[in-house]
Amino acid sequence: MDKVWQENKPLLNVDAGDVFGPRNQNEREQTRFLCEMLGTLGLDAIGLGEQDLNYGLEFLREMMTQHGLPFINANVRDAKTGELILPPYKVVERNGVKYGIVSVLDPQQQILTLTGGEGQFTVADPLTTLRELVPKIRQEAESVVLLAHLGEPGTEALLKELQGIDICVVGHSYRNIETERVIKDTAVFGSAYEGRFQGRADLFIEVGSGRVMAIDVGMIDFDDKAPEDADVKARVEKFKTDLVTFKEAKRSAYPRIHGSEKEQFLGDRSCFTCHEAAWQSYAASAHRRAYTSLRSDGQSNEPDCLVCHTTGYQYKNGYSDERPYNSLVNVQCEACHGYGSTHARDGKWRLQARNSCVTCHDQANSPEFDYATYWEKIKH
Ligand code: HEC
Ligand code: HEC
Ligand code: HEC
Ligand code: HEC
């Protein structure tokens, strides 16, 4: 951006959405930082992607105010009030030409948030929305820019049916659109995901009419060859340290107080050869899915949940998100029987396992727990 700014040409700087990270709390912490950095890029508009609601509307609004992020969207409403959650469009002027920037989200993308579950938002049909809105924007602006959070096929289908869009930036796409593409009267481009690329389109605009006369698209690849920016690098390094501190503060509520450094959890695979029948019973049980359940809840980094949904969380050499301990996901054999490194043959393991249930099946998380009926479901 420094380079682009130095050229001192009229510039529209936009993002077509899905800026935020995956739905879990560590990622939310990273997203705060991402937003802080994004705030330094001087974006004119960001089209809402479904990912940008991963941490709820309140968080999105907090980031918008804190870092001046200009999110817009014309078809997502609060399900309760029926109100649009963001400004539907924005008008900016460059070199005497007014550009109306508008954005829509694909209704087929599921919006899930960390905070409130499903059904908080309704998403209207993009075509209907834009057919109504674009003539109105045209009255305020000479040129209309669409940030289409619809992926490539969705964008293409829309533009075949829609009049009045001059420039379209595609979001929710995993591919760069590197060559000049025109669909009917609209110039279309987009850059791929994870901030790996920056798309650049030089547009030759007719002064007065605001019409796009020609377009020249290019991609900047932020690979290893791209030089580091010293200031950004320093901020990233500081953030990494802060993130470790953040994670450790949460983990510190669950210290590794049990067990011994000398013992190891061997992992469920290591029991398979000698206890195939037990293994099959375990493989079919809910315990083998315990971590997946957290993942689908967006809580797979949350110590408050990991303590019961992994193996040996509070034990020395037990689960952590680092290799090799990250293989101890789910409630494996050793979560009930204990460290496999010293195999008991004296009945101790059976007894230990019988007593283990209630450490996880407590009143809050398993109110219906009853040893006999529950054992029946996992017996081996
Ligand atoms: C380390 C924690 C932990 C221990 C120890 C544990 N469980 Fe579980 N159990 C879980 C978790 C977590 C789930 C939910 C898994 C899921 O579906 O995500 C679960 C689910 C189950 C289910 C499935 C419930 C259902 O509605 O289908 C049964 C049955 C069960 N446990 C029985 C037992 C018994 C019996 C013991 C003791 C012998 C035991 N568990 C010990 C954590 C534990
Ligand atoms: C004290 C142990 C414990 C903690 C802490 C815990 N869970 Fe569980 N969880 C269980 C047990 C036990 C079950 C199985 C309950 C049953 O079926 O009786 C379970 C079941 C579940 C299920 C249901 C699985 C299904 O599909 O039916 C989900 C989802 C889940 N837990 C998510 C979480 C999340 C998210 C957290 C953190 C906020 C969490 N758990 C914290 C022990 C725990
Ligand atoms: C949810 C807790 C739990 C998990 C997970 C679990 N077990 Fe067990 N297991 C038990 C309990 C409880 C007993 C003792 C039952 C009894 O004797 O009343 C037991 C008994 C056994 C026995 C002795 C069977 C016999 O009667 O001789 C073997 C062997 C065994 N488990 C192997 C495994 C293996 C291998 C795995 C993983 C593939 C596994 N268990 C996973 C709770 C568990
Ligand atoms: C090299 C073969 C072998 C491996 C590997 C092995 N076991 Fe065993 N295990 C045995 C034998 C043999 C017995 C004793 C005979 C019996 O009770 O079935 C036994 C007994 C047990 C018992 C009953 C112990 C008691 O006295 O309380 C449990 C529980 C058990 N194994 C669990 C496991 C678990 C969990 C693993 C993986 C960490 C595992 N075993 C790995 C061979 C093995």
CB-based contact 198:190 (threshold 8 Å): no
Give the number of other Cβ atoms within 10 Å of residue 134's Cβ. 19
Which residue ranges have their beta carbon within 6 Å of ligand 4? 266, 270-271, 273-275, 333-334, 337, 340, 343-350
Find out whether the beta carbon of 335 lies less than 6 Å from any atom of ligand 1.
Answer: yes
CB-based contact 74:130 (threshold 8 Å): yes
User: Residues with Cβ < 8 Å from 129, sequence gap 6 or more?
Assistant: 74, 75, 104
- How do residues 147-187 score in pLDDT, each as one tens digit? 999 999 999 999 999 999 999 999 998 888 888 789 988 99
For the domain made up of 2-238, the CATH class stated in words is alpha beta
The closest residue, in CA terms, to atom 42 on ligand 3 is: 353
What local confidence, expressed as pLDDT, does residue 117 receive? 65
Which residues does the chain have with pLDDT short of 50?
Answer: none
Q: Which atom of ligand 1 is nearest to the CA of 353?
A: 38
What local confidence, expressed as pLDDT, does residue 17 receive? 96
> Whose atoms come closest to the Cα of 276: which ligand?
3
In the Cβ-directed half-sphere of 185, how many Cα atoms lie within 13 Å? 11
* 341 secondary structure, DSSP code: S
What local confidence, expressed as pLDDT, does residue 300 receive? 87
Residue that has been written with the tokens 């695979």 in this structure: 269
* Cα 356 to ligand 3 centre (Å): 11
Find out whether the beta carbon of 308 lies less than 6 Å from any atom of ligand 1.
Answer: yes
Give the number of other Cβ atoms within 10 Å of residue 35's Cβ. 21
User: Residues with Cβ < 8 Å from 153, sequence gap 6 or more?
Assistant: none
Q: Which atom of ligand 3 is nearest to the CA of 274?
A: 35
User: What's the pTM?
Assistant: 0.72
The closest residue, in CA terms, to atom 19 on ligand 4 is: 345
The closest residue, in CA terms, to atom 10 on ligand 3 is: 353
Phi and psi of 184, rounded to 5°? 50, -115
> Whose atoms come closest to the Cα of 271: which ligand?
4
The closest residue, in CA terms, to atom 1 on ligand 1 is: 308
Classified as helix, coil or strand, 245 is helix
* Cα 282 to ligand 4 centre (Å): 14
Token pair for 75: 């078809």
The closest residue, in CA terms, to atom 24 on ligand 4 is: 345
* Cα 283 to ligand 4 centre (Å): 17
Q: Which atom of ligand 4 is nearest to the CA of 270?
A: 37
For the chain, the structural domain boundaries read: 2-238, 259-378
The closest residue, in CA terms, to atom 36 on ligand 2 is: 305
What local confidence, expressed as pLDDT, does residue 22 receive? 86
